[in-house]
Amino acid sequence: MNPLVSVIIITRNRPEWLDRCIISLLKQDYSPFEIIVVDSSTNDLTKKVVERFFEVRYFSLKLKENTRPQSYNFGVKQAKGEIVVFIDDDVEVAKDWLNKLVSCYKDKDISGVGGRVIVPGELSFGVSSKKIGRIYRGRILGNFSCDFDKSFEVDTLQGCNMSFRKEVFLKIGFFDERFRFRYVKNYLTETDFCMRLRKAGYKLLFNPKAVVYHYAVARPNPNNLATRFELSMGDTFFFLKNFGFFSQQTPYFLFIDPVINTLRLLLGGSIRHCRLRNIRIKNTLLALAYLSGLFFGLFFYFKNRRNPRGLP
């Protein structure tokens, strides 16, 4: 008999996208599964959409913006399934998507499975499987749009197409609610959870045949000073929390990358053609924002290091 699966959708003020998402979910060739919608919208439009689908369990939370980890954690606590799946409200899933995800759990050593994320209109370039969902030399490599013939282990999964055995939440805790920013929102929330799983000895699998289509993709603008600051702060806190000061990753994210990134920002992206006259005020401000974020990330890490899970 197939295990019960809980599909959790976090949403806020996007009823049209959510409607499309639920319709695609109801076409799945897998059963049994439940759909849980955790809504933090500021109006009743999302609730009216969900009321059309008796299959959906709906929960309304009075939360502020950028509280995805809190919504994730609430959804997990409501889930009845053995396997908990997370998708964004702006995705549509392939008909065999759940089947492809769940089939990987036949291997008892696998605790998390993610799939391919296709952004319509964007090109997907072929890369080595070693550069899919990996943490390498102080950098987070995604590339989840790439296709392969078989599944393989990864370090991290993409938030709009990821799943876990529910039991792992009872063992390592829930999503860290401190990954909350104004401009880059809940940057690295899912990556942090995946790294905690890996550190605890669990295995994550990427199955490129479990496909979702991601539409309303919002990417932070790295040329915005506040965005650059928050990206740097989030990266620093993430790497220190998960790798500390004495790991193979440390020299890269704490020393080598800051030097390279600062030079690139100062010179407008070109280190090879270094000229002082290339330096502009905006570039200097971006470099300062980056370095400030790094130091604030250090401060935030030392302030919170006694609570590695980030739970209240």
240 shares a domain with 179: no
Residue 3 DSSP class: P
234 shares a domain with 206: no
Give the separation between CA 210 and CA 219, rounded to whole angstroms: 23
- Among 166, 185, 214, identify where a domain stops: 214
Domain that holds residue 266: 225-304
Is 139 domain-assigned?
yes
Is this prediction's pTM over 0.85? yes
pLDDT (tens digit, 9 = 90+) per residue, 140-186? 888 998 988 899 999 999 999 999 999 999 999 999 999 988 888 88
> Range with the lowest mean pLDDT among 111-115, 129-133, 271-275?
271-275
158 shares a domain with 55: yes
Torsion of CA 49, 52, 58, 60, to 10 degrees: 30
196 shares a domain with 136: yes
266 shares a domain with 133: no
144 shares a domain with 88: yes
Is 66 domain-assigned?
yes
246 shares a domain with 115: no
257 shares a domain with 146: no
Is 311 domain-assigned?
no
171 shares a domain with 52: yes
Q: Determine the residue type at 159.
A: G
| Other C-beta atoms lying within 10 Å of the C-beta of residue 134 | 18
Give the separation between CA 232 and CA 296, rounded to whole angstroms: 9
- Among 180, 214, 248, identify where a domain stops: 214
Burial of 125 per CB tally in 10 Å (0-12, 13-18, 19+): exposed
Is 312 domain-assigned?
no
182 shares a domain with 98: yes
pLDDT (tens digit, 9 = 90+) per residue, 245-296? 988 888 888 888 888 888 888 877 554 444 545 457 888 889 999 999 999 9
Residue in the structure block whose two tokens are 């991601």? 214
pLDDT at 201: 95
Is 310 domain-assigned?
no
When divided into structural domains, the chain yields a total of 2
The domain spanning residue 25 has which CATH number?
3.90.550.10
Give the separation between CA 242 and CA 227, rounded to whole angstroms: 22
130 shares a domain with 255: no
Give the separation between CA 312 and CA 310, rounded to whole angstroms: 7
Contacts of 285 (CB under 8 A, 6+ apart): 225
Is 196 domain-assigned?
yes
Is 91 domain-assigned?
yes
Question: Does residue 311 surpass a pLDDT of 70?
Answer: no
- Among 149, 179, 214, identify where a domain stops: 214
pLDDT at 197: 96
Is 75 domain-assigned?
yes
241 shares a domain with 201: no
Nearest to 115 by CA among 249, 7, 23: 7
